[in-house]
A and B are shown apart, each in its own frame.
Chain A
């Protein structure tokens, strides 16, 4: 009897959790899945009767589409919107008065929200997409482990990029405009909908230099074994460099931005 009541309790807790998914969360997941579906059909039509392109089989492509689609929305946190709105409303003053470093408190919030925001939104999308289309497991255990580390770094890079984008609101009045710009850049430069191999030569060499590929392409390609062994480590090394670089850029930018309000008075 005790066991049954315990199960009831846990189940109802899960259901309550479900019911408490905000409309926004449902919509985000729906939009995510829709995006994956559209991309799927496009690529299937592109492949046509071919079984492989640029070294990727149809099945691999499917895995790529699902994983990168989930990741693109999963690594983001809309931090830039939060900061922009804080600046526009003036609430930023309150935040800056707190005895804790602004960026640090945001980062802890991000860590704290990892399960409730990232995981909760990504897992259903992953499951549904896999059920519809089928996803392959990581190439090996090592790939899986490296994937996790690469993913965490990707989240970190995105965090700092969003932080900087958010700070731009100190200089313009725009919140959604910047969000759209960020979306646009991240959309194809992260390799989210197109694996890097498909980019024409000259464009590829540009994308490869930019940090954005490390947000989606790098972790996904490690998972899938597109890059392995030494190449993988090398890719992750550069990912780390970008992570550290963006950390410093965000700190410096922050210092500048703060000066602006303390001088202008807000």
Chain B
């Protein structure tokens, strides 16, 4: 592993699925009865709200938020990534007729850089201020840089990347967010959508989950600290 991993501060993972859902289903009791979680997991589940309009529960260290038009599983403990993948596959295998329009696998990686000068250098290299911003404002700073790239292949979609210097300093943190978006074909929303979703989750998972680290590694590899 490269030196970059020594300054990785935190990682978060979330999977957002857009479609039509019944939030009231996703009670820990349903997961227990479907044998997706154990008795102990069900007992330790934290329920904020379960209703037909919104569900917000935490089970097995994973946060589930569901609205009628979207479903999300997320964690800030990346060691649960495999569990999230398994749960998604299990849930949508059990609910095969769920209309689904899109799925996004999202990673957020927080990297600590070793000085404020380096932190500013990353900011200024990614979003130069000289040509436009310095003439307009005093001390302009980059808050977020968003890059969108189309993705071809078996699961066409797009990759959205955001790079953000975190304004809670010190320590000096750069946050890289990646969104690996897959829009399902319109004619599959009601027929075959879950099958496509499951294949997407199995085949593209590793690539999608590694995207934020890959981008961060490249940024921190190409933009070196002045003294380094």
Are A and B a genuine interacting pair, yes or no? no
